[in-house]
Amino acid sequence: MTGEADFGRDCYRMQDELQEASRKTPGQRARMSEVERLRHSCAHVMATAIARLWPDAQFAAGPPVENGFYYDVDLAHRISPADFEKIEAEMRAVTKANQPFERIVVTRAEALEYARRGRLAALSDRPAPSRFKLDILEGIPDGEPISFFRNGEFIDLCAGPHVMRTGNVGAFKLTHVASAYYKNDEKNPQLQRIYGTAFKNKTEMEAWFTMLEEAKKRDHRKIGAEMGLFAFDPDYTGPGLPLWLPKGGAMIEELEKLARETEFAAGYVRVRTPHIAREKMYLTSGHLPYYAESMFPPMELIEHEDQGARALHDPDDKFDRVLKSLQYEQHSPKEVEELVGKILGASAEAKHADADRYYLKAMNCPHHHRIFAAEPRSYRDLPLRLAEHGCCYRYEQSGELFGLMRVRSLNMNDAHIYCTTEQFAAEFNAVNEMYLKYFKIFGLEKYQMRFSTSAPEGMGKKYVDEPALWKQTEDMVRDVLKNSGINFVEAANEAAFYGPKIDVQVWSAIGREFSIATNQVDFAVPKRFGLVYRDRDNTEKTPLCIHRAPLGTHERFIGFLIEHYAGNFPLWLAPEQVRVLTIGDDAALVDYARGIVNELRANMVRVETDFGADKINGKVQRAEQSRVHTMLVIGPRDMAANAVSVRVHGKGNQGARPRTQAVADILAAIKGRTN
RNA sequence: GCCGAAGUAGCUCAGCGGUAGAGCAACGGUUUCGUAAACCGUGGGUCGCGGGUUCAAUCCCCGCCUUCGGCUCCA
């Protein structure tokens, strides 16, 4: 319950709404684009090929997805990339035959009959039934038409739509194989998911692969290593725990400076909180034990014991179950304390109840709530906007770690705004405006706010049981979004436990989507912490809390910026803003150059030098390759004229200009964050 | 966590059952050069870690770790 935003989540998100064929409505099917249709047909072509090679293959679902298609198959033979060529050759035979895709409407009884004979997603009858198809059939509601699609001997249960003939699939390629659980449920058998992509023709496919290559060159892991921004050291530091090298550190400082200035102007105050907190903090917030799996296990301070830290993961644990129940109920801090004391007392021996347990914080809000609680608050104090670049730790599953995009230590551009209901709209609107301001600075033209709301059926289960508050806050948020003309979509039944939220999706310069930040309304947790302010009428009231983090986390945001700019950062953000290159290493020349370096450094410009004996061509090339923003080339002619020659990364030689002007230009560009 | 793939010098990569190689980078020297690579030389690797097979393993087998591609999770 936090608010803070699941920054670590779903970067590079694929749009997989299309994933499960059975989930699609007829309306969605009708809207399927030409290329989606073609890819879906290609999935059938691939299944045909696989059925020819391995007749006992059992197919599940084979939908088009963004950029391609897949088909899930259960097969004793493990398909590896080495098999792709063989499968593709068979697929080519199918497309060459140019079989028509024939739609056959059947009754449920007929469909079941085919499935029992193993005839679905197959070339002929088989000894074993088409068991996944049988299961899918059962999921099709009465009244919905049931159809097969047939190409050649291959018949598949399928609602379509398809292209006219197999020959319409002009170009395709199998890309990778992964595993997936049937219907995405880990209780179901694991299937082999074979991915491919398909296009109308070869030219389009080649363009796609060229674009992939380009995207690969922008990969933040690659550029980050090239530019010396960050490093991972799994053996010593640990997986998912980035080390920020000086150049990456410089970028972090710039982002924090931007946030400090922006937030200061918007009336925020900055606070500092520790990285750890006692167990009681997270019992009160409700994070434990529900969120425990995403937290590092606690450290226990125990006397006479040398047992290791324990995590609260055991489902049979009575202690855990009682705690879990606490989460869904409203208790005053005092009640929580009493209950916890009771529980801990009852299981003292087994649970090291006497131990002092400390957790690394996975979010900042509980600490900020305690800051709110640290002093008596009056309505005159509100809104109170507490900001902190807090460092949090989340135990992301090992398979989830991905470069800077999904890490275990994260620095959040966090703030919590405590306000009254009356102040809410204005505060929320101001937060949105801050987002837009940042988007402008970073040149983000495409963005979308995804407004997640509750659903009545989830009240008291998935969501805090406060229907009136839900409605009130959701209406407020919706009004603000509508009135401000912000681009948003509403997603029902996706809210956080304690309030509606807004996920901010942005698209980088090359069109890749990133979920960069989350904005959340919280009307539940302040209550759990007993936060109150004294209102005008001398009664105590609980404030609303807005969690917001427009710049997300440094990790995710810098990863995004690397891709967005392909490492060619604007001057203000560039890790190495200026490099001064001398033509030759004549002592007087170097002295002159050093004077300029010192002047820039005195103005907080990040300058490096290349005063060696190398040829100027070599120096320029190295500087260009390191993506230094501005190169100041200094030769005897420049020294004589008290000038410098300016060269800008990617833009070439800008010519000589007076030294004072060059310095002033650089300082102005940095200050204005203009380029 | 699950399925699959990969791991050789700081980086990009070659190699192979018989004592490990290139380019770039680094370091030393020479070059004094006006905007994308001057020249010569030197150092550098327990071939991810552990075990097994073998006269001999970077190479074959097993286990582990990490990374990558997916899946799952996401209050």
pLDDT at A512 over 90: no
Chain A 484-503 residues in 7 Å CB range of strand B? 496-498
Identify whether the C-beta of residue A411 lies closer than 8 Å to the C-beta of residue A555.
yes
**Beta-sheet pairing, A243-244 with A269-270:** unpaired
The predicted structure's pLDDT at residue A335: 54
DSSP state of A448: E
> What pTM did the predictor assign?
0.82
Which nucleotide is closest to A399, CA to C1'?
B1
Which nucleotide is closest to A406, CA to C1'?
B74
A511 CA to B36 C1' in angstroms comes to 29
Looking at strand B, which nucleotides approach a protein CB closer than 7 A? 1-5, 11-12, 25, 30-38, 65-75
Residue A644 bridge partners (DSSP): A657
Q: Is the dihedral of CA A468, A470, A473, A474 positive or negative?
A: negative
Residue A572 bridge partners (DSSP): none
pLDDT at A22 over 70: no
Report d(CA A481, CA A477) in Å as an integer.
Answer: 6
pLDDT at A329 over 60: no
Identify whether the C-beta of residue A494 lies closer than 8 Å to the C-beta of residue A462.
no
pLDDT at A592 over 90: yes
SS3 A440: helix
Report d(CA A548, CA A503) in Å as an integer.
Answer: 10
Q: Is the dihedral of CA A360, A258, A406, A250 positive or negative?
A: negative
Q: Is the dihedral of CA A407, A408, A413, A419 positive or negative?
A: positive
Q: Which of A137-146, A182-191, A661-670 has the lowest mean pLDDT?
A: A182-191
SS3 A642: coil
Q: Is the dihedral of CA A622, A624, A627, A630 positive or negative?
A: positive
SS3 A665: helix
pLDDT tens for each residue of A372-388: 999 999 999 999 999 99
- Cβ of residue A362 lies below 7 Å from strand B: yes
ipTM rounded to 2 decimals: 0.90
A164 CA to B6 C1' in angstroms comes to 41
The predicted structure's pLDDT at residue A292: 79
**Beta-sheet pairing, A488-491 with A447-452:** parallel
Q: How many residues does chain A have?
A: 675
Greater pLDDT, A287 or A581: A581
Identify whether the C-beta of residue A585 lies closer than 8 Å to the C-beta of residue A637.
no
pLDDT at A337 over 90: no
Work out the angle between the directed axes of helices A34-53 and A81-97 (0-180°, nearest 10). 110
- Cβ of residue A635 lies below 7 Å from strand B: yes
A620 CA to B9 C1' in angstroms comes to 27
Identify whether the C-beta of residue A489 lies closer than 8 Å to the C-beta of residue A450.
yes
Percent residues over pLDDT 90 in chain A: 36
Helix (H) / strand (E) containing A194: strand A190-199
pLDDT band at A666 (very low <50, low <70, confident <90, very high): very high
Residue A417 bridge partners (DSSP): A385, A546
Which nucleotide is closest to A631, CA to C1'?
B35
pLDDT tens for each residue of A221-246: 889 988 999 998 888 888 899 999 99
pLDDT band at A602 (very low <50, low <70, confident <90, very high): very high
- Cβ of residue A239 lies below 7 Å from strand B: yes
The backbone torsions φ and ψ at residue A596, rounded to the nearest 5 degrees and listed phi first, read: -70, -40
**Beta-sheet pairing, A58-59 with A102-106:** unpaired
Percent residues over pLDDT 70 in chain A: 86
A587 CA to B12 C1' in angstroms comes to 37
SS3 A362: coil
A516 CA to B37 C1' in angstroms comes to 40
- Cβ of residue A255 lies below 7 Å from strand B: no
Greater pLDDT, A642 or A124: A642
Identify whether the C-beta of residue A593 lies closer than 8 Å to the C-beta of residue A643.
no
Helix (H) / strand (E) containing A605: none
3-state secondary structure A286-297: CCCCCCHHHCCC
The predicted structure's pLDDT at residue A289: 65
**The dihedral formed by the CA atoms of A617, A620, A624 and A625, expressed in degrees to the nearest 10:** 60
- Cβ of residue A599 lies below 7 Å from strand B: no
Report d(CA A611, CA A597) in Å as an integer.
Answer: 11
Cα diameter, chain A: 94
pLDDT at A608 over 80: yes
pLDDT tens for each residue of A339-373: 555 554 444 334 455 567 889 999 999 999 999 99
Tokens encoding A390:
């807090």
Point out the residue nearest to B65 (C-alpha to C1'): A235
SS3 A659: helix
- Cβ of residue A66 lies below 7 Å from strand B: no
Helix (H) / strand (E) containing A172: strand A171-181
Point out the residue nearest to B66 (C-alpha to C1'): A234
